[in-house]
Amino acid sequence: MAAQSKSAKLDRKKLFSDPVMVGMISVLLIFLVLFIVYPLFVLLIDSVYTEGKLTLSVFQRVLSMQRFRTAFSNTLVLGLLTGILSTAIGLLFAYVDVYVKIKNKAVGKLFNVVSLLPVVSPPFVLSLSTIMLFGRSGIITRSLLHIYDSNVYGLKGIVVVQTLTFFPVCYLMLKGLLKNIDPSLEEAARDIGASRMKVFTTVTLPLLLPGLGNAFLVTFIESVADFANPMLIGGDYDTLATTIYLQVTGSYDSTGAAAMSVVLLSLTLILFFIQKYYLERKTAATLTGKASRARMLIEDKSVTIPLTVICCLVALFVIIMYIMIPFGALFKLWGRDYSLTFKWFDYLFKYSGLKAFKDSFLLSVIAAPITALLSMVISYLVVKKKFKSKGFIEFVSMLAMAVPGTVLGIGYIRGYANGIFHTGVLSGIYGTGIILVIVFIVRSLPVGTRSGISALRQIDKSIEESAYDLGAGSGRVFTTVTLPLIKDSFFSGLVTSFVRSITAISAIILLVTPQFLLITCQINEFAEKGYYGVACAYATILIAIVYLSVLLMNLFIRFFGTSKKIKEEK
Amino acid sequence: MLKESKGIRLEHISKIYQDPKTGKDFKAVDDANLVIEPGSFVTLLGPSGCGKTTTLRMIAGFESPDEGEIYLGDQPINELTPNKRDTAMVFQSYALFPHYNVFDNVAYGLKLRKMDKKVIHDKVMEILDLVELSGMEGRMTNQLSGGQQQRVALARALVVEPSVLLFDEPLSNLDAKLRVSMRTEIRNIQQRVGITAVYVTHDQSEAMALSDQIIIMNKGVVSQIGTPQEIYYHPADEFVADFIGEANFLRGKLVRKDGEKGVLSIDNHDVEVDDIGNFEVGSDCTVVLRPEAALLAPEGQLPCKVVMSCFMGEYQNYHVMVGDTLVKITDFNPKHKRIYRVGEEAFVKFDTCDVHII
């Protein structure tokens, strides 16, 4: 292996002769270690190391808490239910989209809207509207059905809300997989004499099985990590995420919370690794390449009509839930007095609403470009470069995807409140806007990185090599060739991280200090107090902001996007 | 071009890769020693996986060798990154920047060298004229045909006046006709500019048409280096003979030797040969006989039986059996010649100077 090391040594030497590359890699490594690896590491240390000794006493204490044990089983039940339901509904939508002939254009639009919703949806929104539709003062329960003691809180509420929030993700994942199934496989089965149902159960479904498992686990992780919905509609059904939050804010027991966080983190990490390294690979192995030709769509009315109707009903229901929000803000008193009023908006702006919007907006606007740039740099390094710490960088930025926000929040509290390892170093950032911006960045980084990687994989390697060969250093190659070619992806990453930041809550709610008012925290506060009108007013404006940014993104891509320019001149 | 072109020297170059499946090391390039003279056009030719592209990419700097040293002129360049090496590559996929027009694509390297705008403009226009793309400078690259895109790629590499021009199978994405006309053009431009060119291809006719020297590679090892004629008429081994053109291999034994001349016994028939090389009497050897160098005739060196006879237009294609050995013969312009049918007996006839012994 001595020879092997010579080319490796040369490669390293070449790498280090490029100061921009070295700079980029060092900055990234420092960032990832400080703000992802270190806070999680601190949680682990905290939960096994007390008063100078290695001990499992904190775990023992936590495990003996009835509250913790209930929360743990609650979390698993919730994840299981939400995972199964979301995957099933996602599969239905994907199947109808890919296999069924839909003549009506409006139905296609409806599907589009549904697939876009998870991107633009702030947390709480579905919980809020569920409460307003089915709660004690719900428009359906109280006003239509005259049920006065309806209780939407608890498991069923969370499951419904989470399913409606997460199934579009499954829909998009499974749609991509179904499209890759070669239609001739199914035609062959059909040709031998299998019925349509038989084809589905013996060909389509087995091929899709790893993909279904994948979708299920992704939803499971999301569900388990979700903080906002259980907080609002969970009632006394506590999950790990909410219990951790209450442990810190209610019992001021941050070591206990650290131990609980380690449990939650281990849960999501295990699932994440199964999903990432087993199922994703298996999916790729069974469904390789593209379909050989277009699929004959199902036109049989006995199949198309019921399936389409079910999907449309679900889609319409989701859309109605979103429409509830502005109405909630415009009615005088939900459940009692449905006369129109602006009093909630007035109230919002009178009581520091403007500051909340300003703070949220400002912090997100600072975080978004940093996130977009960082994730592009990471994807660039991961896809195009060879170096020693590349595996680490890729691993950690993927890891961030599996870390629940609440866990990250606790990690920051434990890790930075007294500085790094309680030395006071960097303690200055705790309680300031900086740490909030960092949380925004870390929370959006995996999403941006993932889309950056897929965008970069589509660029022929030799295009960058030719620039390199002509004399451009790595920095120049990145700015003059790579970045312009992934401009669309970069800009959508920018908007996505802005949207994710301005709608973030789980980690932020633990770290925010009174000097900052954030929209999401305000919504949480007012909804907790039962001031649904104000909460809806906040949410309405938030949805408007998010929707406008997405609109802006599409406009930008239409007029300035690279791909558009290239396409148009073809 | 004003700049002096430089030669390239590879000394004991090896490149080791790990097989991703088995984890075992294998040598993609094994102890390659090459000298490429300044101003010459050299082709690396071989089947896929023979290490030719790896060799080219090591010269460009994209890959690092595990052993040996690469020199550009007299300067060792192992430690230089591709952007610091005075080479320019033309890629198989053209690798044009899709977000730039033709002018900006060609000007890219010049802008990096921080040249004056006016100078850049003049140089780009001059080079576009050379590759016959004048008037196209405002077009986006996807509005060009494949051949035009390849010319832009060539212009982009040429305009920075590198010491060496590298080609990585640049014509393989073009259709057959265009390939032929483009290769003539590449050769013409290289001659006019006088630049050193290293060209990777698996297409032997491309290599023949373009090169001053051909380097044949097989399984990471350099099999033979020589002019197209040397390679074709005096292949070093069976692989080279078989890879370049078609070849028949007849096993025999040297029975007499008279200076350079000698007599072989093939299938118990004596065959005179003009040049027996270094073989000693009694040693086994293989005769390389090109199909177009042999004829079927009523009399000749080796008796045979026709097993296939097929009219191909420009030639009659025969398969005949000499003892147990299948021999292919192409008889050009067969219109007024006697055509042998399957099953007929005849003789394989060839000139004593047309066979090569390995």
Same domain, B237 and B270: no
To the nearest whole angstrom, how far is the Cα of A469 from the nearest Cα of chain B?
A: 5
**Residue to substitute from B56, B108, B115, B163, interface A, most A β-carbons within 10 A:** B108
- What is the structure's pLDDT at A570? 37
Say yes or no for a CB contact (<8 Å) between A562 and B99: yes
Same domain, B215 and B255: no
Say yes or no for a CB contact (<8 Å) between B83 and A569: no
Q: How does pLDDT run across A455-468, given as a tens digit for each residue? A: 888 888 889 999 99
User: In angstroms, rounded to a whole number, what is the distance separating the alpha carbons of residues A355 and B132?
Assistant: 64
Strands B221-226 and B213-218: antiparallel
SS3 state at B64? coil
User: What's the Rg (C-alpha) of chain B?
Assistant: 25
Task: Provide, as residue numbers in chain B, all residues whose Cβ is less than 8 Å from the Cβ of A565.
Answer: 99, 140
Structure tokens at A180: 């890759």
Boundary-marking domain end, from B211, B241, B271? B241
- What is the structure's pLDDT at A291? 58
User: In angstroms, rounded to a whole number, what is the distance separating the alpha carbons of residues B183 and B176?
Assistant: 11
- State percent of chain A over pLDDT 90: 23
Distances (CA, A) of A71 to A74, A83, A260: 5, 18, 10
Give the contacts of B101 (CB within 8 A, at least 6 positions apart). Answer: B137, B138, B139, B140, B141
Strands A337-340 and A331-333: antiparallel
Residue B2 lies in a domain: no
Its domain, for residue B231, covers 8-241
In degrees, rounded to 5, the angle at the alpha carbon of residue B128 between the alpha carbons of residues B124 and B133 is 145
Say yes or no for a CB contact (<8 Å) between B157 and A470: yes
Is the pLDDT assigned to residue A569 strictly greater than 50? no
| C-beta separation of B303 from B345 below 8 A | yes
Chain B, 151-180: which have a CB under 8 Å from a chain A CB? Answer: 153, 156-157, 160
Q: How does pLDDT run across B35-85, given as a tens digit for each residue? A: 999 999 999 999 988 999 999 999 999 889 999 999 999 999 998 888 889
- What is the structure's pLDDT at B174? 85
Give the residue on A whose Cα is nearest the Cα of B157: A470
- What is the structure's pLDDT at A10? 82
Say yes or no for a CB contact (<8 Å) between B160 and A14: no
- Sequence-distant contacts of A63-68: CB under 8 A, at least 24 apart: A65/A256, A67/A238, A67/A243, A68/A243, A68/A260
| C-beta separation of A247 from A257 below 8 A | yes
Give the residue on A whose Cα is nearest the Cα of B80: A14
User: In angstroms, rounded to a whole number, what is the distance separating the alpha carbons of residues A246 and A253?
Assistant: 9
Is the pLDDT assigned to residue A478 strictly greater than 70? yes
Enter the DSSP assignment of B84.
G
Give the residue on A whose Cα is nearest the Cα of B64: A7
Same domain, B275 and B174: no
- What is the structure's pLDDT at B2? 47
Residue B83 lies in a domain: yes
SS3 state at B126? helix
Same domain, B202 and B252: no
* DSSP string for A56-81: -HHHHHHHH-HHHHHHHHHHHHHHHH
On the CB side of A259, CA atoms within 13 Å amount to: 21
**What is the number of other CB atoms lying within 10 angstroms of the CB of residue A300?**
10
Task: Provide, as residue numbers in chain B, all residues whose Cβ is less than 8 Å from the Cβ of A485.
Answer: 98-99
Same domain, B55 and B196: yes
Average pLDDT over residues A142-157: 80
Average pLDDT over residues A200-211: 87
To the nearest whole angstrom, how far is the Cα of B112 from the nearest Cα of chain A?
A: 7
Residue B55 lies in a domain: yes
Boundary-marking domain end, from B180, B215, B241? B241
CATH 1.10.3720.10 fits A56-341, yes or no: yes
Say yes or no for a CB contact (<8 Å) between A466 and B160: no
ipTM value > 0.90: no
Say yes or no for a CB contact (<8 Å) between A466 and B78: no
Same domain, B226 and B250: no
Same domain, B153 and B256: no
| C-beta separation of A487 from A429 below 8 A | no
Find, among A224, A220, A258, the residue nearest to A240 by Cα: A224
Q: How do the residues of chain A divide into helix, strand and coil, expressed in percent and rounded to 5? A: 80, 0, 20
Selecting from A17, A466, A566 the residue whose C-beta is nearest the C-beta of B140 gives A566
Torsion of CA A333, A337, A338, A344, to 10 degrees: -30
Helix (H) or strand (E) holding B18: strand B8-18
Average pLDDT over residues A133-149: 76
To the nearest whole angstrom, how far is the Cα of A489 from the nearest Cα of chain B?
A: 15
Least-confidence region, from A214-218, A381-385, B233-237 = A381-385
Structure tokens at B348: 């394989």
To the nearest whole angstrom, how far is the Cα of B222 from the nearest Cα of chain A?
A: 20
| C-beta separation of B112 from A470 below 8 A | yes
SS3 state at A51? coil
Residue B217 lies in a domain: yes
Distances (CA, A) of B16 to A1, A165, B27, B65, B224: 10, 51, 4, 8, 21
To the nearest whole angstrom, how far is the Cα of B17 from the nearest Cα of chain A?
A: 8
Least-confidence region, from A100-109, A110-119, A520-529 = A110-119
Find, among B47, B323, B8, B311, the residue nearest to B169 by Cα: B47
Report helix angle A57-64 to A66-99, nearest 10.
80
Is the pLDDT assigned to residue A568 strictly greater than 50? no
Is the pLDDT assigned to residue A34 strictly greater than 80? yes
Q: How does pLDDT run across A62-71, given as a tens digit for each residue? A: 888 899 999 9
SS3 state at B311? strand
Least-confidence region, from A235-244, A326-335, A543-552, B271-280 = A326-335
**What is the number of other CB atoms lying within 10 angstroms of the CB of residue A192?**
9
In degrees, rounded to 5, the angle at the alpha carbon of residue A534 between the alpha carbons of residues A533 and A540 is 90
Selecting from A469, A485, A570 the residue whose C-beta is nearest the C-beta of B99 gives A485
Residue B1 lies in a domain: no
Give the contacts of A98 (CB within 8 A, at least 6 positions apart). Answer: A175, A178, A179, A295
Give the contacts of B12 (CB within 8 A, at least 6 positions apart). Answer: B31, B32, B33, B67, B68, B69
Average pLDDT over residues A402-406: 91
Residue B53 lies in a domain: yes
Same domain, B255 and B334: yes
| C-beta separation of B39 from B208 below 8 A | no
Distances (CA, A) of A315 to A107, A167, A177, A410, A534: 9, 11, 21, 37, 27
- Whether chain A has a CB inside 8 Å of the CB on B220: the answer is no
Res. A563 pLDDT band, cuts 50 70 90:
low
- What is the structure's pLDDT at A5? 62
Same domain, B252 and B235: no
Selecting from B60, B91, B140 the residue whose C-beta is nearest the C-beta of A569 gives B140
Based on the number of CB atoms within 10 Å of its own CB, is A15 exposed (0-12), middle (13-18) or buried (19 or more)?
middle
To the nearest whole angstrom, how far is the Cα of A547 from the nearest Cα of chain B?
A: 29
Res. B340 pLDDT band, cuts 50 70 90:
very high
Give me the number of domains chain B comprises: 2
Q: What is the CATH number of the domain that holds B295?
A: 2.40.50.140
To the nearest whole angstrom, how far is the Cα of A173 from the nearest Cα of chain B?
A: 29
Same domain, B202 and B293: no
- Whether chain A has a CB inside 8 Å of the CB on B259: the answer is no
Average pLDDT, chain A: 85
- State percent of chain B over pLDDT 90: 64
**What is the number of other CB atoms lying within 10 angstroms of the CB of residue B294?**
26
Residue B110 lies in a domain: yes
- What is the structure's pLDDT at A2? 43
To the nearest whole angstrom, how far is the Cα of A498 from the nearest Cα of chain B?
A: 27
Task: Provide, as residue numbers in chain A, all residues whose Cβ is less than 8 Å from the Cβ of B97.
Answer: 463, 467, 481
Say yes or no for a CB contact (<8 Å) between B99 and A465: no
Res. A281 pLDDT band, cuts 50 70 90:
confident
Say yes or no for a CB contact (<8 Å) between B65 and A10: yes
Average pLDDT over residues A239-243: 93
Same domain, B54 and B151: yes
Burial call A443-473: b when 16+ CB within 10 Å, e when fewer = bbbbbbbbbbbebbeebbebbbbbbbbbbbb
Q: How does pLDDT run across B242-296, given as a tens digit for each residue? A: 999 899 999 999 999 888 888 999 988 999 988 888 888 888 999 999 999 999 9
- Enumerate chain A positions whose Cβ falls within 8 A of a Cβ in B: 3-4, 6-8, 10-11, 13-14, 17-18, 460, 462-463, 465-473, 476, 480-481, 484-485, 562, 565-566, 569-570
To the nearest whole angstrom, how far is the Cα of A154 from the nearest Cα of chain B?
A: 51
Average pLDDT over residues B219-240: 93
Is the pLDDT assigned to residue A279 strictly greater than 60? yes
- What is the structure's pLDDT at A3? 45
- What is the structure's pLDDT at A1? 41
- Position of tokens 């930008």? A556
- What is the structure's pLDDT at B167? 95
Selecting from A470, A565, A569 the residue whose C-beta is nearest the C-beta of B108 gives A470
A70/A332: higher pLDDT: A70
* Beta bridge partners of residue B257, listed in sequence order: B262
| C-beta separation of B322 from B307 below 8 A | no
- What is the structure's pLDDT at B325? 92
Same domain, B82 and B186: yes
Report helix angle A353-384 to A532-560, nearest 10.
40
Average pLDDT over residues A95-108: 84
Region label for A333, one of left (φ > 0), alpha (ψ between -120 and 50) or beta (otherwise): beta
**Residue to substitute from B16, B31, B83, B142, interface A, most A β-carbons within 10 A:** B83
Q: What is the CATH number of the domain that holds B206?
A: 3.40.50.300
B236/A570: higher pLDDT: B236
Task: Provide, as residue numbers in chain B, all residues whose Cβ is less than 8 Å from the Cβ of A6.
Answer: 64-67
Task: Provide, as residue numbers in chain B, all residues whose Cβ is less than 8 Å from the Cβ of A566.
Answer: 98-99, 140, 142
